[in-house]
Amino acid sequence: MNRRSGTGYTGIPPWIYAIAAAGAVFVLLPLVAMVAKVNWPQFIPLITSESSLTALGLSLRTSAASTAACIVLGVPLALVLARSPFPGQRLLRAFVLLPLVLPPVVGGIALLYTFGRQGLLGRSLELAGIQIAFSTTAVVLAQTFVALPFLVVSLEGALRTAGNKYEAVAATLGARPSTVLRRVTIPLVLPGLASGAVLSFARSLGEFGATLTFAGSLQGVTRTLPLEIYLQRETDADAAVALSLLLVAVAVAVVGLSYRRPRVEAAPEGVFR
Amino acid sequence: MTFELDATLAARGFEVSLSLGPAETIAILGPNGAGKSTLLSIISGLLRPDSGKAVLGGRVLFDLAADKNIWRAPHTRGTALLAQEALLFPHLSALDNVAFGPRSAGASSAAARETGMHWLTEVDAGDLASRRPGQLSGGQAQRVAVARALAANPELLLLDEPMAALDIHAAPLLRRLLKRVLAGRRAIIITHDILDALMLADRVIVLEDGRISEAGPTRDVLEKPRSRFAAGLAGLNLVAGTVSDAGVTTDQGMVVAGHHDGTVAPGQDGVAVFPPSAVSVFLTEEHGSPRNSFPVRITDLEPHGDQIRVHAGGLSADITPAASADLGLTPGMTVYFVIKAAAIAIYPA
């Protein structure tokens, strides 16, 4: 690592590298252990079984839907939190970030008492003929609930870093606020928005507790990949391991995308200088 | 069709009123923190004053009288702002940056680009049209920013030290460009450079501590400065006080003898102004014909052209390097500044 950092002085004491290595091993070792446990001859049949493919398809579709919902709800939230100071702003931020620290099962219970049959809104929705709990919609709601903070945090940071100088200039050039948002603000924070969306997608993909509590585990309707893995673990350990590896592969692909973030952000920064 | 402004902002100790003709450019001069940028922010609508009123070409920009409370949003004001940094939108080409104003005003994409190209050519940047801001030098970017501001067809152009961030080669080029494009336009330019005021502005306003301390045609202000700041810009010494028969008496009781121009009567507030070249430096008190001899403590010595500028007691003197060496001048020394009365102009403050 010293050699890779070239001629620049890093200021990192040598023993830090040892602890960092231990940290890396701590994260990698369980993955290695899991890969070692995979029943390779049966791997393809296991992950291409009907229930597996159904669960994977459902996971990808619901995660895409909840990522879209996160963008629709999260972009305005991040803008309001980053740009306009108002009384109660800190409180709002705290509540928006709450799902980050809340156990997902608690989130699921909260959603159940909101959208469930006897819930706060659920009762009115039921009268209107809409039933949300234990449906695919419930999966999307649960995933959106837990993933929204990732998008808001990521985008709010990007908005604060970008500042509002460009927006002020755009306004004096005659651009109305919606035009400024569409043509200046969003393009400037696009890397932050993209990495926030990727994180939200990854969080949605891995969502388990809130989904199980609020949406249940109906095959093809609410049984996403993590739920399928949990179910298989009791009956067919090989299948559970194979599906876990599949989920790891999807997650690595997603993280790989978001790992390009620093380079994407470096481009506009270079421009500012 | 004039521009009239009257604004106060207590939090920044800001209280300014000014007016501007249809094709007039004024330069705002003043020390850092005097409220120059506050002024532009209030005019462009980015900052709300406590009270006041502004009218631009018959349109009320804001009127914060108790019963009115009119406040136009920045995008409806027609006051394009050009800042120290070019602030070109990094994700748009130079051409699309310039076309941004017309496009926002509702022009079609093609028409906006045509206008954009016209203004790019106008600032000699037609060949930069397809470049991204990241591929432009500071001077090029600022030229494109000028084109972008002009393409928005502003009724009032606001320039906040547009040359300050440019290197010494790019600044003269941009200054010439601004001289050309500001002709016949209404503009307010903030600057630290007296050359900008001379070349670009019809009038100057000196802003100090949020208030206008001096205003007038550029030449008059530079020839007969009334504020210490303007005198500094013009490279002159200025002593303010009360006019007496002998000259000007400062609050500290120092009497500066000089010649009146006949417009000032004893008892009035007045200033005594003289160039550093009229000041001689002696180690001992002189008893000769000059009536002005002041003991002062040297604060700084600095090269100034082929002379040495001696700063002492808030005044400055220019002497030759040889004289400085002969006298053995160093900061902290007490010397006598001697000025012939004939070299000192006294006029009303």
What is the DSSP track for A113-134?
A: HHHSTTSTTHHHHHHTT---TT
| CA distance to partner chain B, nearest, from residue A185 (Å) | 10
Instruction: Return the residue in B44, B72, B75 with the most chain A beta carbons within 10 A, the one to mutate for interface testing.
Output: B75
- Contact flag B101-A165 (C-beta cutoff 8 Å): no
Query: Is it the case that residue B268 has pLDDT exceeding 90?
Result: no
DSSP state of B12: G
Count of residues making up chain A: 273
The C-alpha R_g of chain A, in whole angstroms, comes to 22
Residue numbers in B near A169 (CB within 8 A):
81, 83, 87
CA distance B260 to A202: 82
Report residues of chain A scoring pLDDT below 70: 1-6, 258-273
Domain ranges of chain A: 42-257
- Contact flag A172-B74 (C-beta cutoff 8 Å): yes
Touching check for B232 and chain A: CB below 8 Å? no
- Contact flag B81-A165 (C-beta cutoff 8 Å): no
pLDDT of B247? 85
Angle between the A237-259 and A261-272 helix axes, to the nearest 10 degrees? 10
Instruction: Return the residue in A83, A84, A172, A176 with the most chain B beta carbons within 10 A, the one to mutate for interface testing.
Output: A172
CA distance B341 to A6: 68
CA distance B343 to A266: 60
Residue B89 dihedral angles phi and psi, to the nearest 5°: -65, 120
Query: Is it the case that residue B148 has pLDDT exceeding 90?
Result: yes
| CA distance to partner chain B, nearest, from residue A7 (Å) | 27
Query: Is it the case that residue B16 has pLDDT exceeding 60?
Result: yes
CA distance B305 to B319: 11
pLDDT of B289? 55
- Give whole-number Cα distances, B327 to B19, B240, B323, in Å: 51, 29, 6
Return the closest-CA partner of residue B296 out of B324, B326, B338, B266. Answer: B338
- Percent of chain B topping pLDDT 70: 99
* Identity of the residue in A166, A174, A271 whose CB atom sits nearest the CB atom of B75: A174
- Give whole-number Cα distances, A19 to A2, A9, A12, A23, A206, in Å: 15, 20, 12, 6, 28
Return residues 127-166 of A near B (CB < 8 Å): 165-166
Q: Please name every residue paired with B56 in a beta bridge, in sequence order, or none if there are none.
A: B3, B59
Residue numbers in B near A265 (CB within 8 A):
none
Touching check for B47 and chain A: CB below 8 Å? no
SS3 B259: strand
- Contact flag B75-A165 (C-beta cutoff 8 Å): no
Going B98 to B102 to B103 to B109, the CA torsion angle's sign is negative
Is there a contact between B298 and B312 (Cβ–Cβ < 8 Å)? Answer: yes
CA distance A175 to A187: 15
Query: Is it the case that residue B216 has pLDDT exceeding 80?
Result: yes
Residue numbers in B near A192 (CB within 8 A):
none
Touching check for B313 and chain A: CB below 8 Å? no
- Give whole-number Cα distances, A42 to A32, A45, B105, in Å: 18, 6, 64
* Identity of the residue in A172, A176, A187 whose CB atom sits nearest the CB atom of B81: A172
pTM: 0.81
Whose tokens are 């930069």? That residue is: B128
Query: Is it the case that residue B170 has pLDDT exceeding 70?
Result: yes
Whose tokens are 């006598």? That residue is: B336
CATH architecture for the domain at A42-257: Orthogonal Bundle (1.10)
- Give whole-number Cα distances, B199 to B81, B106, B178, B183, in Å: 20, 35, 9, 11
Residue numbers in B near A268 (CB within 8 A):
90-91
- Contact flag A172-B80 (C-beta cutoff 8 Å): yes
Going B215 to B218 to B224 to B225, the CA torsion angle's sign is positive
pLDDT of B192? 85
- Contact flag B75-A172 (C-beta cutoff 8 Å): yes
Q: Please name every residue paired with B294 in a beta bridge, in sequence order, or none if there are none.
A: B337
Q: Which helix (H) or strand (E) holds B158?
A: strand B156-160
Cβ-proximal residues to B224 (8 Å cutoff; 6+ apart), any chain: B273, B345, B347
CA distance B123 to A100: 52
Nearest C-alpha in A relative to B136:
A271
Higher per-residue confidence, B55 vs A271: B55
Is there a contact between B242 and B267 (Cβ–Cβ < 8 Å)? Answer: yes
pLDDT of A259? 64
pLDDT of B260? 80
- Percent of chain B topping pLDDT 90: 61
Q: Which helix (H) or strand (E) holds A273?
A: none
Query: Is it the case that residue B225 has pLDDT exceeding 60?
Result: yes
Touching check for B187 and chain A: CB below 8 Å? no
DSSP state of B252: T
| CA distance to partner chain A, nearest, from residue B53 (Å) | 19
| CA distance to partner chain B, nearest, from residue A271 (Å) | 4
CA distance A128 to B213: 71
Query: Is it the case that residue B325 has pLDDT exceeding 80?
Result: yes
CA distance B21 to B19: 7
pLDDT of B233? 85
Is there a contact between B281 and B337 (Cβ–Cβ < 8 Å)? Answer: yes
ipTM tops the 0.90 cut: no
Q: Which two tokens stand for residue B20?
A: 């501007």
Q: Report pLDDT digits (tens) over B275-320.
A: 999 999 998 887 665 578 888 999 999 998 899 999 998 899 999 9
Contacts across the A-B interface (CB distance below 8 Å): 77
